[in-house]
């Protein structure tokens, strides 16, 4: 009934309808952001109770880390090989194919490793986390846990967040190493780039703190954001089958967008003007 009344009022002032919709959208977004922040504060407050029970985190590292390993290794190998092929084709025009090593390594360590690993992580582990928590909510498992005087934020959410934050950089590091291996296989093994030049130039141009550590810092940030979004969307999902499926989609989309946006911000901070 009230909806009809609104529509009637909108129709009388048609020029303002879109403005109202925009305003409502922005307000909804802000309140969601606020809830997400309050939520992570609650989770962080629960962290101290998780540390002594590290086996809970261990189980989650298995679920988000070990089970994502296959997809991470497979993608890294392919990304590395494609990089090797494409870069070789360009570099060979300048007689600079010996620079293949640093080009492949720098692209992987600085950008592709953290970003692609985070995107895959959002798709594989993030969606699973959202769906799991959403289903636990829909099937009243979280409610019943609360009624057993166990705080689900501490018992369920906190170990998962910690596990995600720990697993993400490990996956990104493995991604980088395997990717460089893929590039090495194509560049040195198939295309005949000099092996010595491949490694030595790479060593010469890839800097430990500037490139490798910065890449790892990126992946830690991505790990926090992707897991945060995943557990928040799961915990806030509507407790129905449809609600959970929508939350899962949202989790992957938002996490991916957040990773790409943050990657730009972090890159600007790290590699841009001082």
Cα distance between residue 77 and residue 83, in whole Å: 10
Q: Site for another protein (CB under 8 A): which residue of 136, 153, 161, 165?
A: 136
Give least dist CB 69 to another protein, A: 6
**Residue 202 in the binding site for another protein (CB under 8 A):** yes
Please state the closest distance from residue 257 (CB atom) to another protein, in A: 27
Least CB distance from residue 5 to another protein, whole Å? 14
Stretch that binds another protein, among 84-92, 203-211, 222-230, 233-241 (CB under 8 A): 203-211
**Region binding another protein by CB under 8 A among candidate stretches 77-85, 177-185, 238-246, 252-260:** 177-185
- Return the residue of 170, 221, 231, 266 that touches another protein, per CB under 8 A: 170
For the chain, what is the HEC assignment? CHHHHHHHHHHHCHHHHHHHHHHHHHHHHHHHHHHHHHHHHHHHHHHHHHHHHHHHHHHHHHHHCHHHHHHHHHHHHHHHHHHHHHHHHHHHHHCCHHHHHHHHHHHHHHHHHHHHHHHHHHHHHHHHHHHHHHHHHHCCHHHHHHHCCCCHHHHHHHHHHHHHHHHHHHHHHHHHHHHHHHHHHHHHHHCCCCHHHHHHHHHHHCCHHHHHHHHHHHHHHHHHHHHHHHHHHHHHCCCCHHHHHHHHHHHHHHHHHHHHHHHHHHHHHHHCCC
- Enumerate residues 58-117 that contact another protein by CB under 8 A: 58-59, 61-62, 65-66, 69, 94, 96, 105, 109
Residues 137-156 that bind another protein (CB under 8 A): 139-141, 143-151, 155
Closer Cβ to another protein, 244 or 258, answer by number: 244
Asked if residue 41 binds another protein (CB under 8 A), the reply is: no
* 203 touches another protein (CB under 8 A): yes
Contact between 186 and another protein (CB under 8 A)?
no
* Binding stretches for another protein (CB under 8 A): 58-59, 61-62, 65-66, 69, 94, 96, 105, 109, 135-136, 139-141, 143-151, 155, 167, 169-171, 173-174, 176-178, 180, 199, 202-208, 211-212
């Amino acid at each position: 009934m009230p909806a009809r009344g609104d529509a009637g009022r909108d129709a009388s002032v048609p020029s303002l309808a879109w403005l109202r919709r925009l305003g409502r959208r922005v307000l909804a977004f802000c309140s969601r952001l606020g809830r997400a922040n309050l939520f992570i504060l609650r989770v962080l407050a629960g962290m101290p109770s998780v540390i002594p029970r590290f086996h809970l985190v261990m189980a989650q590292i298995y679920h988000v880390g070990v089970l994502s390993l296959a997809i991470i290794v497979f993608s890294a190998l392919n990304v590395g090989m494609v990089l090797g092929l494409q870069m070789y084709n360009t570099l060979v025009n300048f007689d600079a194919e010996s620079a293949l090593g640093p080009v492949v390594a720098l692209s992987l360590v600085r950008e592709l490793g953290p970003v692609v690993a985070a995107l895959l992580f959002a798709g594989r582990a993030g969606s699973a986390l959202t769906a799991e928590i959403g289903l636990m909510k829909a099937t009243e498992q979280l409610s019943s846990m609360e009624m057993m005087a166990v705080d689900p934020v501490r018992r369920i959410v906190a170990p998962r967040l910690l596990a995600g934050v720990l697993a993400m950089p490990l996956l990104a590091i493995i991604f980088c190493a395997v990717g460089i291996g893929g590039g090495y296989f194509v560049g040195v093994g198939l295309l005949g780039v000099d092996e010595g030049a491949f490694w030595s130039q790479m060593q010469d141009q890839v800097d430990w703190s500037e490139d490798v550590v910065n890449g790892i810092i990126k992946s830690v940030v991505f790990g926090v954001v992707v897991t945060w979004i995943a557990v928040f969307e799961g915990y806030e999902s509507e407790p129905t089958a449809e609600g959970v499926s929508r939350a899962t989609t949202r989790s992957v989309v938002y996490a991916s967008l957040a990773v790409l946006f943050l990657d730009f911000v972090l890159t600007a901070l790290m590699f841009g003007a001082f």
